[in-house]
Amino acid sequence: PASHTPVAELAPEQLEAFAQEQRTAYAALREKGLKLDLTRGKPAPAQLDLAEELLALPHGHVDASGTDVRNYGGLQGLAELRAIFAELLHVEPSQLVAAGNSSLTLMHDCLVDLLLHGGVDSPRPWSQEEKITFVCPVPGYDRHFAMLEHFGIDMVTVPMREDGPDAEAVARLVADDPSVKGMWIVPTYANPAGSVTTQEVAARLASMETAAPDFKIFWDNAYAFHHLTADEAKSADILSLASAAGKPHRPLVFASTSKITYAGAGVAFLAASPENVAWHLGHLGKRSIGPDKVNHLRHAQFFGSAQGVRDHMVRHREVIAPKFAEVERVLSERLDGLGIASWTRPKGGYFVSLDVLDGTASRVVELAKDAGIALTPAGASFPYGKDPGDRNIRLAPTFPVLAEVTAAMEAVATCVLLAAAESLQR
Ligand code: PLP
């Protein structure tokens, strides 16, 4: 619309004209018969191509210590690859495990081991507790919530803010209730809000008193290096903070190269206190004789150094930053000032979090679907898929090519406008 007057301030006949305009625009959109997908945070083929050289690696089959990587063994992962990522994650190489291709699998393994065996500071296995509860910052990552639901773990939510989870709300939840055993957090460029947890918030989470003696922070740093601007966020150093607070076993840090090299064939990492690393390797040793060291070696050769990883991430940025800029351009041109939507302007990560008029997110997703645009289901960023405000939609612009991002976002804006008009006319 030419005029950017808040829609809620329009007189009834102006609102009807506005609504008619949106119905016409939506009908025209449907006519186009588009088929676009903004659902999952996947790297685009152009990003995967950046690591094409990996397919010709490794050169040779021995690591720096002369070990044949084709054979069994080396449970903690290849030393030279751990050295590279230990530098990037600011941990000691001895505190880092290089594992298989998925950090989500590592999170799942740690949770299962906590349930079956308890942690290094647990009085008993978690499964022997009457009830287990996790604190979930929202909006958050749907697969985190699905994992907890799968194991019958209760979820309580706290708001995710620009500086990280509402730490005072978390502190209140964990203070008196021993059933609260853990929390999720995506500290850097959070999925989906893009926020970065500050050192202050991290310090509060690391040091707060918890009724459970074995409270765990699942610190999922999936987007630690995934900057979209030159203003590169540095992740809070949760392991040092927890150590300094006398709670060294509280954080379990996860990361992976899923969005650095290949989403399906990268390397996942776990960083933790020496005791937690020994705990993990103890259980891991019962299910594996060693990881895929051939993949570790080719990653080590591909990157060469920590700087090699940083340089590689700049090449990703060049591919995807224009897509995020396009999301911002279309949304601000079409929706700014109308009082019916707000959205994030992330400096990294894979998502834009769009809040539409309360009670209209599912309608927006439905309208988009009927026009051929797949959006993440409304509510996906909340436990049990239920957004109490029905307002949040997660946009994932990395996978489509730029022209498709433009078309999809124009379509999203049309659906947001029509859903708002319908809602305000009710
Ligand atoms: N953690 C977060 C926050 C994610 O957004 C994703 C993927 O979208 C993952 C973990 C999955 O990581 P991986 O591929 O290492 O299993």
> What CA–CA distance (Å, rounded) separates 50 from 312?
8
Domain assignment of residue 54, yes or no: no
Same domain assignment for residues 22 and 115: no
Domain assignment of residue 65, yes or no: no
Closest residue CA from atom 8 of ligand 1: 41
Same domain assignment for residues 143 and 271: yes
Q: What's the confidence (pLDDT) of residue 300? A: 98
pTM check: above 0.95: yes
Atom of ligand 1 nearest to the CA of 103: 15
DSSP one-letter string for 247-262: -TTSEEEEEESTTTS-
Same domain assignment for residues 178 and 231: yes
Domain assignment of residue 287, yes or no: yes
Atom of ligand 1 nearest to the CA of 106: 16
CATH assignment of the domain containing 260: 3.40.640.10
Tell me the ipTM for this assembly.
Answer: 0.99
3-state SS, the chain, equals CCCCCCHHHCCHHHHHHHHHHHHHHHHHHHHCCCCEECCCCCCCHHHHHCCHHHHHCCCCCECCCCCECCCCCCCCCCHHHHHHHHHHHCCCHHHEEECCCCHHHHHHHHHHHHHHHCCCCCCCCHHHCCCCEEEEEECCCHHHHHHHHHCCCEEEEEEEECCEECHHHHHHHHHHCCCEEEEEECCCCCCCCCCCCCHHHHHHHHHCCCCCCCCEEEEECCCCCCECCCCCCCCCCHHHHHHHCCCCCCEEEEEECCCCCCCCCCCEEEECCHHHHHHHHHHHCCCCCCCCHHHHHHHHHHHCCHHHHHHHHHHHHHHHHHHHHHHHHHHHHHHCCCCCEEECCCCECCCEEEEECCCCHHHHHHHHHHCCEECCCCCCCCHHHCCCCCCEEEECCCCCCHHHHHHHHHHHHHHHHHHHHHHHHC
Same domain assignment for residues 366 and 217: no
The pLDDT confidence band at residue 2, using thresholds 50, 70 and 90, is: very low
As beta bridge partners, residue 164 has 161
- pLDDT digit string, tens, across residues 249-294: 999 999 999 999 999 999 999 999 999 999 999 999 999 999 999 9
How many residues are present in the chain?
Answer: 426
Task: Find the mean pLDDT for residues 187-196.
Answer: 97
User: Does pLDDT of 174 surpass 80?
Assistant: yes
Q: What's the confidence (pLDDT) of residue 385? A: 97
Among 242, 275, 304, where does a domain finish? Answer: 304
Domain assignment of residue 181, yes or no: yes
Question: For residue 308, what are its two tokens?
Answer: 């090699």
CATH assignment of the domain containing 327: 3.90.1150.10
Same domain assignment for residues 80 and 229: yes
Same domain assignment for residues 316 and 345: yes
User: Does pLDDT of 350 surpass 50?
Assistant: yes
- pLDDT digit string, tens, across residues 158-167: 999 999 999 9
Ligand 1 near 141 CB (within 6 A)? yes
Domain assignment of residue 2, yes or no: no
- pLDDT digit string, tens, across residues 198-207: 999 999 999 9
In this prediction, what percent of the chain has a pLDDT beyond 70? 99
Domain assignment of residue 56, yes or no: no
Q: Which amino acid is at 139?
A: P
> What CA–CA distance (Å, rounded) separates 13 from 325?
35
The pLDDT confidence band at residue 3, using thresholds 50, 70 and 90, is: low
Among 304, 331, 366, where does a domain finish? Answer: 304
Task: Find the mean pLDDT for residues 195-199.
Answer: 98
Same domain assignment for residues 102 and 162: yes
Same domain assignment for residues 370 and 253: no
The pLDDT confidence band at residue 1, using thresholds 50, 70 and 90, is: very low
| Closest to 288 in 3D by CA, of 73, 109, 63 | 73
User: Does pLDDT of 388 surpass 90?
Assistant: yes
Among 304, 329, 363, where does a domain finish? Answer: 304
Same domain assignment for residues 294 and 400: no
Ligand 1 near 193 CB (within 6 A)? no
Q: What's the confidence (pLDDT) of residue 42? A: 95
Atom of ligand 1 nearest to the CA of 105: 16
- pLDDT digit string, tens, across residues 215-247: 999 999 999 999 999 999 999 999 999 999 999
In this prediction, what percent of the chain has a pLDDT beyond 90? 98
Contact yes or no for 372/378 (Cβ under 8 A): no
Centroid of ligand 1 to alpha carbon of 223 (angstroms) = 8
User: Does pLDDT of 178 surpass 50?
Assistant: yes
**What's the Rg (C-alpha) of the chain?**
23
Same domain assignment for residues 280 and 381: no
Ligand 1 near 186 CB (within 6 A)? yes
Ligand 1 near 41 CB (within 6 A)? yes
Centroid of ligand 1 to alpha carbon of 222 (angstroms) = 6
| Closest to 237 in 3D by CA, of 223, 251, 216 | 251
The pLDDT confidence band at residue 21, using thresholds 50, 70 and 90, is: very high
- pLDDT digit string, tens, across residues 31-42: 999 999 999 899
The tally of domains found in the chain comes to 2
Q: What is the torsional sign of CA 117, 122, 124, 127?
A: negative
Domain assignment of residue 61, yes or no: no
Same domain assignment for residues 409 and 357: yes
Task: Find the mean pLDDT for residues 298-316.
Answer: 98
Domain assignment of residue 13, yes or no: yes
Centroid of ligand 1 to alpha carbon of 33 (angstroms) = 32
Question: For residue 94, what are its two tokens?
Answer: 């001895």
Domain that holds residue 19: 7-47+310-425
User: Does pLDDT of 403 surpass 70?
Assistant: yes
Count of C-beta atoms within a 10 Å radius of residue 374 = 15
Same domain assignment for residues 26 and 88: no
